[in-house]
């Protein structure tokens, strides 16, 4: 008899024992057994793909108090993470690196043996008196070239419930996969909980990634970005797998954009958190295939992509009926949704920027809340957290793309990169070729830190391909992988840079409205099919006024003035030159083994800007480039 199953049998019901035995993989049994032994779980629940198992997880999340179901809308529940567990925790998220090996200086790392000893010490006996829930996940559609299997052991029913909404069940895939199949592993414990079922040992929060063993360890945290292992944590392991196998794992949305004659063109898009990623993926009239993580492969020399997930863990701040019609409708109607860190009053949920007045009191992440409440540091506690979230299955959205579970993925027509750039880049531009787009828009992606990550907000930083927090290979190698990927393709997707956060250099007002992004996306779709011309500038191809004027009327029924066009698409030479210097400095200081193409492309961009400056001055109207 398998010694690991034998050790687990006393903690399993007869049904769970049978479910586990159906998986003929001793590595699965070993991981569960060692995790149970370390954490000292009283019981083990094996969650299969069966509807009764999934329903049991949801019931237990409510029964334990990790979620409350006292909301007035059917299917809605709410979870609170507490005051100190409200975002990805950079300082306490580290790579376990063997002695003598070092990753890029930009990555947080710790000696592997030291880190394992620390995190296993924190996990020891953490599940006493609790049930270990075992979840089997299929990352990407089942039975696909893209499929990666994942296994998570957790003591949080909220975490297990979140996985039902965010991922495809993978128990059946594990049963079919056989004894030698590979899989990613996650071991998580919420740690000590208070009466509100909130993790209390926040100072002992640790999220460690073991590259050598394809394992994530997470303890003393419930926030889904730190605890739902197949969000951004196992993503780091997938990046390493992609690096060794010649494909790309990317922090990208996937969407279908309609064009003339009802055609649909698929786009991928990389945006750091709180930079417009989900709202772009959910544009009304288009289809959403994914809003967070995509796998890209060159299949018969064609770029194809899948959504790793099947749900959305989205930021709810500023979701309102005017700017986000589709998701607002879902969030205010019956259906299975987990809200986290919102305000609850009389069974209703409220969040910042929802377009209606908020109550003066209620329950939120800080407990009983009232207007003017202060935290222990004297700071006013907001009604809801700025990083409050919702978890919902994509199939709940009326514009969910029918190709979501296509095992062959979808063919990409374009890729967009967008950050928070108040000063330099225009709202939308197209790279001169694949390599220029990857370097000038992807590797040079610059943003500001936001509430989605614990720490100071508003700090400018390079966020390469929007993957900076998750990269697990040398940064130079990641750029090289992206450049080489394009060389495998018969026709590479067009690469675009978008910037929804450009400000007027005189008064500091935003030059884009939230709805304008729909016009930029429609322009990109027409560029893919060669239906509109563009103006060549030092930083890329930009739209012509006449084309945008037509699109603003068609898409938003708005009149678009020449004055707005000139303000938005003026090339700001000093700001662009300063941007190049920041990007160059970042790579010189933090990255070794940088592809020569990066510095070459940045050098040429600098030369083009200086040449244009000599002719037209510091601030160049787009009309200057048409003569």
Q: Which residues are catalytic?
A: 275
Q: Mark residue 388 as left, alpha or beta (left: phi above 0; alpha: psi -120 to 50; beta: remaining).
A: beta
| Tokens found for residue 375 | 């935290």
DSSP code at position 125 = T
Per-residue tokens: 300: 């018969």
* 3-class secondary structure, 458: coil
Torsion, Cα of 49, 52, 58, 61 (10° steps): -100
CA distance readout (Å), 59 to 44, 53, 77, 276, 306:
16, 10, 11, 34, 31
State how beta strands 206-210 and 93-97 pair. parallel
Distance, in Å, from the CA atom of 341 to the CA atom of 79, rounded to the nearest integer, reads 7
- Positive or negative CA dihedral for 161, 166, 168, 170? negative
CA 192 to chain centre: 28
Reading the block at residue 57, the tokens are: 């997880």
Among the residues of 218-344, which ranges form H helices? Answer: 224-227, 232-245, 277-281, 325-331
| 211 Cβ neighbours under 8 A, 6+ residues apart | 95, 96, 97, 237, 240, 472
Give the three-class secondary structure for 16.
Answer: helix
Give the DSSP H or E segment for 20.
Answer: helix 14-21
Q: CA dist 165 to 57, 158, 170, 395, Å?
A: 12, 11, 13, 10
* Beta carbons of 134 and 45 less than 8 angstroms apart: yes
> Crossing angle for the helix pair 573-590 and 475-487, nearest 10 degrees?
110
- Written as six digits, the tokens of 312 are 């959305």
Of the candidates 123, 156, 174, the residue with the CA atom closest to the CA atom of residue 228: 156
Exposure of 55 by Cβ count < 10 A (0-12 exposed, 13-18 middle, 19+ buried)?
Answer: exposed
Strand partners, 270: 417
Q: Are 448 and 499 a contacting pair, CB within 8 Å? A: no
Place of tokens 């959403």: 288
- Spell out the residues 6+ positions from residue 430 whose beta carbon is closer than 8 angstroms to its own: 437, 494, 495, 496, 497, 524, 527, 534, 540, 541, 542
Nearest CA to 466 among 625, 232, 264, 256?
232
Are the C-beta atoms of residues 351 and 388 closer than 8 Å to each other?
yes
Work out whether strand 93-97 and strand 109-111 pair parallel, antiparallel, or are unpaired.
parallel
Q: Return the bridge partners of 135, or none.
A: 47, 152
390: left (phi over 0), alpha (psi -120 to 50) or beta: beta
Cβ contact 119:239 at 8 Å: no
* Chain-centre distance for alpha carbon 297: 19
Q: Characterize 539-551 residue by residue with b for buried, 16 or more Cβ atoms within 10 angstroms of its Cβ, and e for exposed.
A: bbbbbbbebbbbb
């Amino acid at each position: 008899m398998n010694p690991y199953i034998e050790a687990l049998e006393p903690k399993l019901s007869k049904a769970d024992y049978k479910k586990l035995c159906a998986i003929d993989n001793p590595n699965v049994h070993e991981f569960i057994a060692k995790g149970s032994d370390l954490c000292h779980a009283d019981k083990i629940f094996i969650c299969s793909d069966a509807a009764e198992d999934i329903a049991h997880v949801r019931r237990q999340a409510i029964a334990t108090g990790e979620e409350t179901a006292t909301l007035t809308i059917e299917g809605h529940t709410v979870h609170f993470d507490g005051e100190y567990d409200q975002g990805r925790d950079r300082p306490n998220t580290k790579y376990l690196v063997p002695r003598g090996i070092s990753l890029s200086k930009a990555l947080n790392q710790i000696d592997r043996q030291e880190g394992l000893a620390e995190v296993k010490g924190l996990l020891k006996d953490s599940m006493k008196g609790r049930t270990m829930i075992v979840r089997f996940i299929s990352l990407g559609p089942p039975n696909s070239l893209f499929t990666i299997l994942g296994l998570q052991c957790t003591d949080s029913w909220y975490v297990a419930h979140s996985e039902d909404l965010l991922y495809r069940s993978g128990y059946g895939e594990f049963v079919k996969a056989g004894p030698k199949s590979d899989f990613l592993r996650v071991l998580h414990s919420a740690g000590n909980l208070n009466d509100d079922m909130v993790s209390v040992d926040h100072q002992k929060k640790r999220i460690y990634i073991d590259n050598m063993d394809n394992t994530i360890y997470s303890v003393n945290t419930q926030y889904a970005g730190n605890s739902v292992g197949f969000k951004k944590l196992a993503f780091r392991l997938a990046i390493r797998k992609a690096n060794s196998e010649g494909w790309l794992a990317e922090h990208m949305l996937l969407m279908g954009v309609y064009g003339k004659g009802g055609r649909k063109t698929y786009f991928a898009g990389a945006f750091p958190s709180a930079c417009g990623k989900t709202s772009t993926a959910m544009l009304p009239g288009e289809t959403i295939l994914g809003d967070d993580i995509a796998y890209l492969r060159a299949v018969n020399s064609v770029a194809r992509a899948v959504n790793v997930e099947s749900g959305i863990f989205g930021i709810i701040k500023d979701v309102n009926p005017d700017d986000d019609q589709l998701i607002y409708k879902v969030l205010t109607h019956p259906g299975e949704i987990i809200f986290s860190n919102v305000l609850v009053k009389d069974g209703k949920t409220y969040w910042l920027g929802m377009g209606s007045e908020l109550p003066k009191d209620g329950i939120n992440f800080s407990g009983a809340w009232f207007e003017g409440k202060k935290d222990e540091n004297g700071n006013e506690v907001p009604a809801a957290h700025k990083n409050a979230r919702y978890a919902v299955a994509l199939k709940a959205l009326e514009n969910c793309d029918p190709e979501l579970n296509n095992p062959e993925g979808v063919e990409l027509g374009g890729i967009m990169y967008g950050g928070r750039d108040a000063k330099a880049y225009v709202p939308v531009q197209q790279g001169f070729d694949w390599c220029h787009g990857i370097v000038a828009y992807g590797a040079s992606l610059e943003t500001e830190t936001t509430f989605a990550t614990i720490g100071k907000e508003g700090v400018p930083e390079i966020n390469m391909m929007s993957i900076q927090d998750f990269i697990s290979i040398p940064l130079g190698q990641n750029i090289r992988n992206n450049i080489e990927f394009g060389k495998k393709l018969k026709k590479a997707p067009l690469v675009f840079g978008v910037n929804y956060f450009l400000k007027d250099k005189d008064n500091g007002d935003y030059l884009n409205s939230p709805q304008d992004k729909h016009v930029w996306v429609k322009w990109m779709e027409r560029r893919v099919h060669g239906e509109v011309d563009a103006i060549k500038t030092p930083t890329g191809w930009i739209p012509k006024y006449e084309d945008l004027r037509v699109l603003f009327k068609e898409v938003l029924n708005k009149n678009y003035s020449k004055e707005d066009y000139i303000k938005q698409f003026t090339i700001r030479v000093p700001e662009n030159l300063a941007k190049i210097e920041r990007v160059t400095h970042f790579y010189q200081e933090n990255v070794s083994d940088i592809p020569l193409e990066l510095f070459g492309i940045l050098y040429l961009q600098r030369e083009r800007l200086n040449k244009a400056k000599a002719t037209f001055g510091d601030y160049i109207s787009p009309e200057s480039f048409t003569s």
